[in-house]
Amino acid sequence: MISPLNLLIIFAMVQDTTRKPTVYLEEVTVDTMSILVIKATAETMNDISRVIGAGYGELFIFINQAGLQPGKVMASYHTFQPPFIMDIAVEVNKFPAQASGRIRVNKIAGGRAIIARYKGPYDKIGMAYDAIAGWLKDRQKKPKRPPFKVYQDDPATVKDPFELRTDVYQLIPEKSDITCFLFPTKYLRMTIRAYDPVQSSGYLQRE
């Protein structure tokens, strides 16, 4: 006969299998970011959390010693299969006078971006990248640079993996000028700036 405790455990296991990660997309404008970066390599999938944790530990020690203010906690991947080559990064309020060791400084240019706001276990975050890829394909758009992710929660304090929030940023080209060729000559043209409801009274609508 199954004890009440075992029934509770079985019920919890069933509950976990029915829970699913969630993701939704949001189009935003992001500011330019000053970041400190460590390039690192994880030989296997199981090594990723250890490598990333060590990288953040090194970055935050340096940030505290340099008197900087940390912002977004970030990561991006150069490869998606072993060995996993990645950039481990933290946004800072300004660049230090001098970097240290394997820490490098970099900037991420601001502009338009699609953010996949993902909530769930880290090993399922591929669905966020898939959502962004689908959005780009549907609109025939090209990314400006590889995507990067921003961790919203610390797994050391948020114990439920389905409550972990991660934002995946994909920078996209700005709404470019629309060039119209005037008949009959192809050399005469005019440029119409995409409509901005704040700065313009025109009628050309955003995509």
- Residue pLDDT, tens place only, 25-78: 999 999 999 999 999 999 999 999 999 999 999 999 999 999 999 999 999 999
The total of structural domains in the chain comes to 2
Phi, psi of 77 (to 5 degrees): -115, 135
What per-residue confidence (pLDDT) applies to 117? 98
User: Could you tell me if 155 and 206 lie in one domain?
Assistant: no
DSSP label of 194: P
Q: 81 and 34: one domain?
A: yes
> Could you report the per-residue pLDDT of 117-160, keeping only the tens digit for each?
999 999 999 999 999 999 999 999 999 999 999 999 999 999 99
Kindly state whether residues 150 and 49 are assigned to the same domain: yes
Among 131, 203, 134, 206, smallest CA distance to 166 is for: 131
Pair 117, 53 in one domain? yes
User: What is the CA 63 to chain-centroid distance, rounded?
Assistant: 21
Q: Based on the domain organization, do 94 and 191 belong to the same domain? A: no
Predicted local confidence at residue 50, as pLDDT: 95
Q: Are both 71 and 110 inside the same structural domain?
A: yes
Dist CA 46 CA 10 (whole Å): 27
Domain of residue 58, residue span: 15-171
Instruction: Output the six-digit token pair for 18.
Output: 């029915």
What would the mean pLDDT of 160-172 be, rounded to a whole number? 97
Based on the fold, state whether residues 184 and 147 are members of the same structural domain.
Answer: no
Domain assignment of residue 196, yes or no: yes
- Going by C-alpha positions, the residue among 88, 91, 153, 144 that lies closest to residue 114 is 144
Alpha-carbon gap, residue 127 to 203, rounded angstroms: 37
pTM, two decimals, is: 0.76
Mean pLDDT over 109-118 rounds to: 97
Whether the predicted pLDDT of 194 surpasses 90: no
* Dihedral angle, C-alpha 130, 131, 137, 140, nearest 10 °: -140
Q: In this predicted structure, what is the pLDDT of residue 176?
A: 53
Torsion sign over Cα 21, 49, 152, 127: negative
